[in-house]
Amino acid sequence: MTTTPKRLLVGRPLASDRLDETLLPKRIALAVFCSDPLSSVAYATQEILLVLAIGGTALLHLAWWAAGGVIALLVVVVASYRQTCYAYPNGGGAYAVSRENLGAGASLVAASALLVDYVLTVAVSVVAGMDNVVSAFPAFASHEVALSVAAVAALVAANLRGVKESGRAFAVPTYGFVASILLVIVVGAVRGLLGNPVVAASAGLPLHAQQNFTGVALLLLLLRAFSSGCTALTGVEAISNGVPSFRPPKPRNAARTLAAMGALAVTMFGGITALALTSGVHIAEDPTALGLPPDAPQQTVIAQLGAATFGGSSVMFYLTQAFTAAVLVLAANTAFSGFPVLASILSRDGYLPRQFTRRGDRLVFSNGIVVLGLLAIALVVAFDADTTRLIQLYIIGVFVSFTLSQLGMVRHWTRDLAGTSNRALRRRIVRSRAVNAIGAGSTALVLVVVLVTKFVHGAWIVIIAMPLLLWMMTAIRRHYRRVAQALRPAPGGFPLPARVHLVVPVARLHTAALRALAYARATRPTTLTAVTAEVDPAETAALIREWEERDLPVPLVVLEAPYRDITRALLAYVDQRRREAGPHDVIGVFVPEYIVAHWWEHLLHNQSALRLKTRLLFRPGVFVTSVPAHLRGDGLLDSTPSSHSTGAAAGAATGTAPGTAPGTAPGTPETPDERSLAQLTRG
Amino acid sequence: MTTTPKRLLVGRPLASDRLDETLLPKRIALAVFCSDPLSSVAYATQEILLVLAIGGTALLHLAWWAAGGVIALLVVVVASYRQTCYAYPNGGGAYAVSRENLGAGASLVAASALLVDYVLTVAVSVVAGMDNVVSAFPAFASHEVALSVAAVAALVAANLRGVKESGRAFAVPTYGFVASILLVIVVGAVRGLLGNPVVAASAGLPLHAQQNFTGVALLLLLLRAFSSGCTALTGVEAISNGVPSFRPPKPRNAARTLAAMGALAVTMFGGITALALTSGVHIAEDPTALGLPPDAPQQTVIAQLGAATFGGSSVMFYLTQAFTAAVLVLAANTAFSGFPVLASILSRDGYLPRQFTRRGDRLVFSNGIVVLGLLAIALVVAFDADTTRLIQLYIIGVFVSFTLSQLGMVRHWTRDLAGTSNRALRRRIVRSRAVNAIGAGSTALVLVVVLVTKFVHGAWIVIIAMPLLLWMMTAIRRHYRRVAQALRPAPGGFPLPARVHLVVPVARLHTAALRALAYARATRPTTLTAVTAEVDPAETAALIREWEERDLPVPLVVLEAPYRDITRALLAYVDQRRREAGPHDVIGVFVPEYIVAHWWEHLLHNQSALRLKTRLLFRPGVFVTSVPAHLRGDGLLDSTPSSHSTGAAAGAATGTAPGTAPGTAPGTPETPDERSLAQLTRG
C-alpha cells in the first residue's frame, strides 16, 4: 500500500546474497571514502587565514608555518593508518581497534568521538559546499540554511539506495574537483614564473589588525591557526574503516588508495595555501576589518583564486565552484558510509538501540542513514549554516579517535611481537609500531593544542556531548542486559494458563462485533463475556433488545461509565475479572476494529479501540487481540473466511498428534456437543 | 502513569451527574457569553476610523453615520435573537434552528459559517487584546504573535478545566472593562459639558487623504466603514446558543441577559465612537498618512481615549488597558463555549469525526477545545497577529449564520401560527415573526454589503473555506453511512470459524516467547506453529538446539528472510497459511511483546512487533494478539498468573452451560488427554 513512494526514492529491494556485488574498485573507493579529506582543502586554508586575519596583514605570513605543520601531520597520520589497513582487513575503525587493544572503556570513548564527528562531517561539508555555491551565485546568500538542509536530504535519499550507485555518482565531482584545483595551482605557478602572478580581488583591501599579538599570545594565535588547518585531516580514517568494501586483496588496495589520497591532499592543500598567500587573498570573519560594511558577503578562498586565475565570469570559474560544491556535499557521504556501520556495530554490542543492526531493503543500514541526516540538519539549522562556527566543534572528536586508534595499534604490534620469532617479520613489526607510535604521539599533542586553543570557541559543546553519548550508550547496554536477564526462561517447564477468560467489548451489534465474538468463541475459552459501557441509556437499551432478539449465546454485561470514559469502565471491569479469576488464569480481550480503505478514514475510527488496547497492554496477565473488519473503498466489507455462508459451521476441525508434521500442532477435536454451538446465533 | 501532568492542568475528573452543577446565574452568564459582543467595542470604532482615514480628515465625520447604522442593526439583531431564546429553550443555535426549519442543506451552511467564525472570534479577540497590551507597554511591540499564541494556549487550558470555573474567573475583567469604558465616556462627556473637552494625543497629527472619494466611491467607502463596524455584532448569537447553560427559567433569564448585553453594547459603542470623534483621534493603517515613519507604532483608539482622559501614565489608564486586554482574551472564550458544543452536535449527526462527541474528564468536549485552539493559533501566526487583516475574514460568516437563523425563525413562527387558534397567542406569534423577519431582512442586506465591500480585502478566503468545510462534512457523513451499511449484520446466524490456526513468531527462546506459546496453546487451537525468520544462521541454529533441548511440543518453522526483512517473511508465511487453510478457517498470530517501565525504553523494543502487528491488521481473516511480558524498573519480570509454579498446570477448567450465569460462557471441558499437555515443556 504505502510502499510506492519508498520504491521511487530508494529503488527495488536487494537480496542478502547481493551484498558482495557492492564491493568497490580503488578508483571508485577513492571517490567514496576520500571526498572528505580531499574536499577539506576547500576550507582548511581559509580557516587558517581567518584566524591569522585577527592579527592583521602583518601576521598572514604565519600561514606558511601553520600549513607546514598540517602537511607534516597529514604525512604522519596517513602512514600510521596504512598500518591499520594491513592489520585489520575486516575494517580497522577506531572503535574496533581500541576495543580489541585498549578495552571496552577506551573503545566507547572512541565510538562517541566518531559518532559526533560523523555528524559534524556532514554538517561542515555541506555548509562549506553551499558557501561555494553562494560565492558563485550571490543571489542565494540568504538561503544557505535551506540549501544545506536540501543537500543533506538529497544525501540521505542517495544513501538509502545503496553505496555502489553512490560511488559511481561520486567519481565525476571528486576527480573534477581534483583536476580543477590542480589546474588552478599549475596556472598560478606558471603565471608566477612568467612574472605575471595571479592577484586576488581582495588583495587591494586593507586588513586591519583587530588585536595585537606578541609573545605567548602570538604563539597561541599560530597554534590556533594550525588547529583550524587540521580540519584538512578529517576523514583520513575513513579508508581504514572501509577496508571490507574494497575489492581483494582488500588491505593492499586500501593502503594504496590511502597513499594516493595522502599525496593528492598534500599537493592540493600546499598549492592552494601557497597561491592564496602569494596572490594576496584577504579574508576576515568581520568584514569591517577589510573596510567593508558589517554584512558584506565575502567569497571563499577557492572562489577568489578561481576568479583570479580564470576570470570571475569564465566557464572554468563556474566549473571549479560547481566541482568544489559538489565534492563538499559528497564529502558528507564519507559519514554516510561510516556512521551507519559504526552504529550497527555498537548496536550489535548492545550500546545503541537494536534498530541500527537492521539492514534495509537496499542492503544498507537505513536507520543509521536517516538518524545521521536528521542530526546533521539539526546542527546546520542551530549554527545558522556558518562553516567557521561549526568547525570549532569538529576537530576534537577527530583527534580523540585518531589518538586512541594509533595507541591501540601500538598495543597490537607489541602483542604481535611477543608471538613472533621470525627476525624479518619482527623487524617489520617494530617498524610498523614505530610509525603508529609517532602517529599516536603527534595526534595526542595536537589534541592538547586543539583543546587549549578551541575550547572557548565552541569545542566545549563537544566536550559535553561526548560524555553524554557515552553515558547513554552504557545505559542502553545496561538496559538490554537487564531485560535479557529477566527474560531468561526458568530451567523447568513453562506452565500453561489454567483457564482462559475472554472479554469482548461491544458498542453496537454490527458485523465487526459479531466477528470478534465468533473468533473469541472459536478459541473455546473457559468463559466468554461481552461487555458494553453505558453512555446513553437509550442506546444501551437498544443494544440489549437486539441482543435478545438475536438470542446470542454469550452473556452481555452492561458497565456504568460515570465519567463517560468507556476505556476506564472497561479497564475497571478487566481488573475486576482478574481479581476474581484464579491465580493461574489469564484474561484475553478481543477488540473489534475497522480497517478502512484510506488513511484519512482512520481518523474517523478506532480511536477508542486504540486507547483501550494501549492501556490493556500494561495489565499483567492480560492478552489483547485485534479482530479487524476490512472495509473496502466502496464501503463494503471485504469477504473473509468467516463471512461466508453459515455452512462454515459444518467444517470439522482436524486434530493432529503433537509434533507429527511441521506446520501443525495439537488441537482439540471438536465434540458433537460443541459443533451445535458453532453457529454464533442460535436458531 | 502519564496522567499527572494532565491532572495538574485540567483538574480532577468530574462524574456525569455533576453536569447540572455547571449551570450559570445571569451575572456570570453575561461575563461568559457576552465578553465577545461587549469587547468588540474595543475595536469596532477603530475599524470604522481606519477605513474612513483613507479619505483623510474630511471624511471622518462619516463615522457618525456608520456607527448609527451599526447601532440600529444591533438593536434589530438583539430583538430578533430574544425571540430565539424563547422558541428554543434547549439552545437555538443557527445550526439547530435552520436544520429544523430550513432543512439539512441550509443548516450545514450555517454550521460551516459558525465553525469558521468561532475560530476567527478567538484569533481576532486575542490579537486585539494584545494590541492593547502593546499600546500600554510598547516594549512588547515585536512579540505580538508570541503573546497571542500564549494567550490562546492559556484559554485552552482554562476551558479544559470546565465552564463554571471559567465563568467565575471571567466576571472580574468583563465588569471591570464595562466600568472603565463607561467611566471614560462619563468623564469625557462631563469635561465636554464643562468646556474642557478631552483631546487625543493624535489630534495634532495631520491625516492626509490617500485617495479622493466622490459619488459611488464615497458611498462604497461609507458602506465599507459600516461593514467594518459590524464587528460590534459578532457574538450576539452566543446567548441563544447557550440557553441550556442558564439557570431556570432558562429562556427568560437568557432573553433578559441578552437585552442587558444589547443596552450595554449600544451605550459603550456609541459613547466611544462619539468621544473618539470629538476628541480628534487620528489613526491610519499606513502611519505615513499621519506624517509618521512607515513602521511607527500607533496606540489603539481605547488607549488613546484612556490616556487623554486619565493621563498616559495614570493608574486608571493602565487599569483600563488591562481590563480591555483581559476582556478581549476572555471574549475568545465565547467561542470556547460554542465551538465544542456545535462540533459535538455535528459529530452526533455524523458530519464531524466521532471524537468530538466525547466529553472529557471535566465534562467538557475536550477535543473541540483543543482543535479550536490549534486552528486559532494557526490563523494568528498566518496573519502575523494583525487585527485589521483578520477582521476582513470575520464578518461574512457571522452574517451568513445570522440570516439563516432569522429566516429559520420566520418559518418556525409561521408553522406555529398554523397550529394555533388562540387569538392572543396568534398576535404574539405574528409580532415575533415580524421581529425576526426584520432581523433576517437587515442581516441579509448587510451580508450583501459586506460581501461587496470586503471581498477583495480578504473575505474571499472565507468564501473558499466555507464550501470546503461543507464538502468535508458531507464526505464524513457519507463515510459513516457507508460503514454503518457495511457493518449491518446479516439477519441470519453469524458463522463461527471452522478451525483456528495459531502462529507464534519467535526470535529467541526467552520467557516472553514461552508465554506467548503458552497463551496460544491455552486457547486450544486446531494447529499451533512457532515461526522464526533466519537472519543469522548461527542464531537460528542456537534457537533450534534450545528448542530441541526443551523438547517443546510445538513445531518450529524456520523461514528464509532473503531481504533481512523479518516482517515480510512472516507476512508471506501467514499469507501462505491463509491460502492453505480452509475457506472457513481463521489464522491468529500471537506476538510476544515487552512492556518496559519507562517510555524511553520503548524506543529500544517492540519495533518489529509493532511493524508486524500493523501490517497483519490489513490481512482479512487474520486476528492479531499481543502477549505482553512486563518488565519492572528493576529489570525483573512482573509476576503474572502464568509465571507461577508449574502447579498451574493442574488447575482444571470449569465448563458452564451456555448463558447460565452472567460473566461466564460455554467453555470446553478439559479431557484427561488435554491435561497432560497443559505443561508447555514436556518432562
Query: Mind listing the pLDDT tens digit for each residue in A369-392?
Result: 999 999 999 999 988 888 888 888
Q: How many beta carbons lie within 10 A of that of residue B271, not counting itself?
A: 20
Give contacts of A491 with chain B, Cβ < 8 Å: none
The predicted model gives A471-488 an average pLDDT of 86
Looking at per-residue pLDDT, the higher value among A226 and A603 belongs to A226
Residues with Cβ within 8 Å of residue B228, at least 6 apart in sequence? B44, B47, B48, B50, B51, B66, B391, B395
- Cell numbers at B238, concatenated: 452566543
State the Cα angle at B673 between B672 and B678, rounded to 5°: 90
Q: pLDDT at position A234, please?
A: 86
Mutation target vs A (from B348, B523, B576, B591; most A CBs, 10 A cutoff): B523
Q: pLDDT at position B675, please?
A: 34
Q: What is the distance between the alpha carbons of residues A322 and A315, in angstroms, rounded to a whole number?
A: 10
CB contact under 8 A, B584 and A13: no
Ranking A85-99, A466-480, A485-499, A633-647 by mean pLDDT, the lowest is A633-647
**Is A135:A306 a contact under the CB 8 Å cutoff?**
no
Distance from CA of B320 to the nearest CA of A (A): 42
> Which one-letter DSSP state was computed for residue B488?
P
Q: What is the distance between the alpha carbons of residues A527 and A506, in angstroms, rounded to a whole number?
A: 16
Distance of CA A441 to the CA centre of its chain: 31
CB contact under 8 A, A680 and B621: no
Q: What is the distance between the alpha carbons of residues A148 and A134, in angstroms, rounded to a whole number?
A: 11
Task: Tally C-beta pairs within 8 A across A and B.
Answer: 414
The predicted model gives B216-235 an average pLDDT of 91
CB contact under 8 A, B621 and A640: yes
- With CA atoms as reference, the chain B residue closest to A347 would be B604
pLDDT confidence band for B72 (50 / 70 / 90) = very high
Give the containing element (helix H, strand E) for B560.
Answer: strand B556-560
Residue of A421, A593, A581 lying closest to A502 (CA atoms): A581
pLDDT at A192 over 70: yes
pLDDT at A92 over 80: no
Ranking A96-110, A580-594, B80-94, B158-172 by mean pLDDT, the lowest is B158-172
Q: pLDDT at position A490, please?
A: 72
B138, exposed or middle or buried, with CB in 10 Å at 0-12, 13-18, 19+? Answer: exposed
pLDDT at B469 over 70: yes
pLDDT confidence band for B11 (50 / 70 / 90) = low
Q: Which amino acid is at A545?
A: R
Q: What is the pTM of this model?
A: 0.69
The predicted model gives A528-542 an average pLDDT of 89
CB contact under 8 A, B527 and A656: yes
Q: pLDDT at position B8, please?
A: 53
Ranking A229-243, A349-363, B524-538 by mean pLDDT, the lowest is A349-363
How distant, in Å, are the alpha carbons of A343, A364, A374, A480 from that of A367?
9, 9, 11, 19
Q: pLDDT at position A560, please?
A: 86
Mutation target vs B (from A7, A344, A487; most B CBs, 10 A cutoff): A487
CB contact under 8 A, A486 and B627: no
Residue of B269, B326, B195 lying closest to B37 (CA atoms): B269
Per-residue pLDDT tens digits for B641-677: 443 333 333 233 333 333 333 333 333 333 333 333 3
- Cell numbers at B122, concatenated: 478567538
State the Cα angle at B589 between A565 and B649, rounded to 5°: 90
pLDDT at A122 over 60: yes
pLDDT confidence band for B279 (50 / 70 / 90) = very high
Cis peptide before A340 (omega within 30 of 0): no
Q: pLDDT at position A682, please?
A: 46
User: Which of A585, A658, A667 faces B526 most closely, judged by CB atoms?
Assistant: A667
- With CA atoms as reference, the chain A residue closest to B548 would be A659
ipTM exceeding 0.85?
Answer: no
pLDDT confidence band for A5 (50 / 70 / 90) = low
Torsion of CA A405, A406, A408, A409, to 10 degrees: 120
How distant, in Å, are the alpha carbons of B365, B419, B565, B567 from that of B444?
32, 28, 64, 61
- With CA atoms as reference, the chain B residue closest to A663 would be B529
**Is A527:B663 a contact under the CB 8 Å cutoff?**
yes
The predicted model gives B44-68 an average pLDDT of 92
**Is B337:B116 a contact under the CB 8 Å cutoff?**
no
Ranking B252-266, B273-287, B662-676 by mean pLDDT, the lowest is B662-676
Give the containing element (helix H, strand E) for B553.
Answer: none
Residue of B374, B366, B381 lying closest to B9 (CA atoms): B366
**Is B403:B392 a contact under the CB 8 Å cutoff?**
no
Q: pLDDT at position B336, please?
A: 86
Q: Which residue has the cell 555518482?
A: A169
- With CA atoms as reference, the chain A residue closest to B666 would be A527
DSSP 3-state assignment of B495? strand
DSSP 3-state assignment of A592? strand
Q: What is the distance between the alpha carbons of residues A192 and B395, in angstroms, rounded to a whole number?
A: 75
Q: pLDDT at position B153, please?
A: 93
- Cell numbers at B489, concatenated: 449484520
pLDDT at A642 over 50: no
pLDDT at B272 over 50: yes
Q: pLDDT at position A184, please?
A: 94
Distance from CA of A666 to the nearest CA of B (A): 6
CB contact under 8 A, A651 and B584: yes
Q: What is the distance between the alpha carbons of residues B245 and B31, in angstroms, rounded to a whole number?
A: 13
pLDDT at B164 over 70: no
How distant, in Å, are the alpha carbons of A10, A168, A369, B533, B535 from that of A14?
11, 18, 17, 17, 15
CB contact under 8 A, A659 and B553: yes
Mutation target vs B (from A564, A578, A619, A644; most B CBs, 10 A cutoff): A564
CB contact under 8 A, A674 and B668: yes
**Is A38:A265 a contact under the CB 8 Å cutoff?**
yes
**Is A406:A436 a contact under the CB 8 Å cutoff?**
yes
Residue of A330, A283, A287 lying closest to A129 (CA atoms): A330
pLDDT confidence band for B598 (50 / 70 / 90) = confident
Q: What is the distance between the alpha carbons of residues B488 and A311, in angstroms, rounded to a whole number?
A: 78
**Is B638:B632 a contact under the CB 8 Å cutoff?**
yes
DSSP 3-state assignment of A528? strand
Looking at per-residue pLDDT, the higher value among A654 and A415 belongs to A415
User: Which of B482, B630, B653 faces A635 most closely, judged by CB atoms?
Assistant: B482
Q: What is the distance between the alpha carbons of residues B593 and B537, in angstroms, rounded to a whole number?
A: 23
Q: pLDDT at position A673, please?
A: 34
Q: A196-229 in b/e burial notation, b at 16+ Cβ within 10 A?
A: eebebbbeebebeeeeebeeeeeeebbbbbbbbb
The predicted model gives A107-126 an average pLDDT of 92
Q: How many beta carbons lie within 10 A of that of residue A251, not counting itself?
A: 20
Q: Which amino acid is at B616?
A: L
Cis peptide before A249 (omega within 30 of 0): yes
User: Which of B563, B605, B626 faces A13 most closely, judged by CB atoms?
Assistant: B563
pLDDT at A434 over 90: yes
Q: pLDDT at position B4, please?
A: 55
Give the containing element (helix H, strand E) for A136.
Answer: helix A104-136
pLDDT at A498 over 60: yes
Q: pLDDT at position A663, please?
A: 36
Average pLDDT of chain A?
83
Supply φ then ψ for residue A359, to 5 degrees: -80, 140
- With CA atoms as reference, the chain B residue closest to A499 would be B653
**Is B56:B205 a contact under the CB 8 Å cutoff?**
no
Most confident of A25-39, A326-340, A451-465, B173-187: B173-187
Q: What separation, in Å, do the N-terminal and C-terminal C-alpha atoms of chain B show?
A: 41
Give the containing element (helix H, strand E) for B627.
Answer: strand B622-630
Residue of A311, A301, A323, A55 lying closest to A179 (CA atoms): A323
3-state helix, strand and coil shares in percent for chain B, rounded to the nearest 5: 65, 5, 25
Q: pLDDT at position B293, please?
A: 83
Residues with Cβ within 8 Å of residue A384, at least 6 apart in sequence? A145
pLDDT at A658 over 80: no
The predicted model gives B595-602 an average pLDDT of 74
The predicted model gives A209-234 an average pLDDT of 89
Q: What is the distance between the alpha carbons of residues A320 and A326, in angstroms, rounded to a whole number?
A: 10
pLDDT at B310 over 60: yes
Q: Which residues pair with A558 in a beta bridge?
A: A532
Q: What is the distance between the alpha carbons of residues A669 and A653, in angstroms, rounded to a whole number?
A: 7
Strand A622-630 to strand B622-630: parallel, antiparallel, or no bridges (unpaired)? Answer: antiparallel
Supply φ then ψ for residue A505, to 5 degrees: -70, 135
The residue count of chain B comes to 683
CB contact under 8 A, B645 and A495: yes
Mutation target vs A (from B12, B642, B676, B679; most A CBs, 10 A cutoff): B642
**Is B255:B352 a contact under the CB 8 Å cutoff?**
no
CB contact under 8 A, B641 and A613: no
Strands (E), A498-643: 500-505, 527-534, 556-560, 586-595, 622-630
Q: pLDDT at position A439, please?
A: 92
**Is A306:A317 a contact under the CB 8 Å cutoff?**
yes
- Cell numbers at B589, concatenated: 498470530
CB contact under 8 A, A479 and B557: no
**Is A279:A200 a contact under the CB 8 Å cutoff?**
yes
Torsion of CA B432, B438, B444, B448, to 10 degrees: -170
State the Cα angle at B190 between B189 and B192, rounded to 5°: 65
CB contact under 8 A, B479 and A604: yes
Q: Which residues pair with B556 in a beta bridge?
A: B530
Going edge to edge, which strands form the sheet with B622-630? Answer: A556-560, A527-534, A500-505, A586-595, A622-630, B622-630, B586-595, B500-505, B527-534, B556-560
